[in-house]
Structure 1
Amino acid sequence: MGVSVALDDFGTGYSGLYHLTRLAIDKIKIDRSFFDTTLENQNEMVKAILALGKSLRMKITAEGVEHERLADWLATHECDFAQGYLFGRPLPLDQVKELLAMSVSEGPVRALAVPGK
């Protein structure tokens, strides 16, 4: 059917370890709060989450990526995907429609240009 399930905000609230084995989850999204402080203070925890996700054969997305340094660190540690202001800002619906139309006709879009930025 082509449907997958992601566990959002992993590591916070109710989206914890219990759900990883009880639900049919294909992906986890590491909550941005793990990246709010300096990378040096969080890297061991994030490495552990990445290793856990990989061992369960899940794709992993890091949320809240705002700086190249963090994006580089995540790539080095084999994080599958990243999202955040580094790659694009929220867009109005009409611009999202244009972007989706471009993606279909011109191939995948990796990063968004932000008007006026």
Structure 2
Amino acid sequence: MIDIQNMKLAECEALSRWIDPRYGFLSPDKFIPALEANREVYKVDCHVLEGYGQDAEFLREKGKEIFPISFNISRTDLEACNIYQKIEDTIARYGLSRDQVHIEITESALNDSSQAMVEAVQHFHDLVGYQVWMDDFGSGYSSLNVLKDYHFDVIKIDMVFLRKFDDRSKTIVRNICRMAKELGIRTVCEGVETQEQFDFLKEAGCNLAQGSLFSPPVPLDELYKKMAPYL
């Protein structure tokens, strides 16, 4: 994720990919729904954070800067385990700080107005230091209600708005950025592929940009080479 104003790498998003010996490369849409249905997805979420801790140890030894990450948790995480304690234990084990870990919750996870999710967002804020981000903003049908009922530090504008980069989409994105600023919420726009899109986001007042214009998803050993112009 690139800071739009200074063109510097601000942080990274941790993504999951499954390389299976039988089925080969599997994207999240192939395995996350099955894990969620069986209340096992928390194991993946905890594994991702554990991997970040291990990466942070490696980077620390190499004298490289450790950027914050955002990673998703599922609604079923709250039911299947004490996700707060698991996150707290992991960051303590690897000498991380809470402000290095940003919790992403997808808009779809909030659509049933679950009291559990309201309490989860509040709980993370009570553990002072964590940021809670709303992922895929604008992809569902209750985005404004979600902003009314939940306090998020950051909203991630869904890539669908840049995929159809017409005047209507631009107007929507521009107004999301303005509304978020008035609410004290920072904005990230996903799916940035062209310089024209980036220039528009800068004009619209968006805070961070993420997309293939800067880098596709890459392993850690490629990240610092790929992102050298933005360090």
TM-score range, shorter chain: 0.7 to 0.9
Aligned mate of 2:157, from 22, 30, 54: 30
* C-alpha distance 110-3 of structure 1, shift in aligned 2 (>3 A): farther
Higher helix share: 2
Aligned to 1:68: 195
8 Å contact from structure 1 (residues 88, 111) kept in 2: no
Pairs within 5 Å for 1:100-111: 111=230
Report the Cα offset of residue 14 of structure 1. Answer: 5.9
2:200 paired with 1:49: no
Q: What letter corresponds to residue 219 of structure 2 in structure 1?
A: P
Report the Cα offset of residue 109 of structure 1. Answer: 5.9
Aligned to 1:87: 214
* C-alpha distance 36-94 of structure 1, shift in aligned 2 (>3 A): same
2:167 paired with 1:58: no
TM-score of the superposed pair, with normalisation by structure 1: 0.76
Q: What letter corresponds to residue 40 of structure 1 in structure 2?
A: D
Q: Which has more radius of gyration?
A: 2
Pairs within 5 Å for 1:3-22: 3-13=130-140, 16-22=143-149
Count of aligned residue pairs for this structure pair: 103
Partner SS state of residue 215, structure 2: coil
TM-score of the superposed pair, with normalisation by structure 2: 0.40
* C-alpha distance 32-94 of structure 1, shift in aligned 2 (>3 A): same
Report the Cα offset of residue 110 of structure 1. Answer: 6.5
| C-alpha RMSD of the superposition | 2.4
Deviating 4+ runs (over 3 angstroms):
93-96, 108-112
Sequence identity (%): 37
**Quick one: distance in 2 between partners of 1:19 and 1:6?**
12
Higher strand share: 2
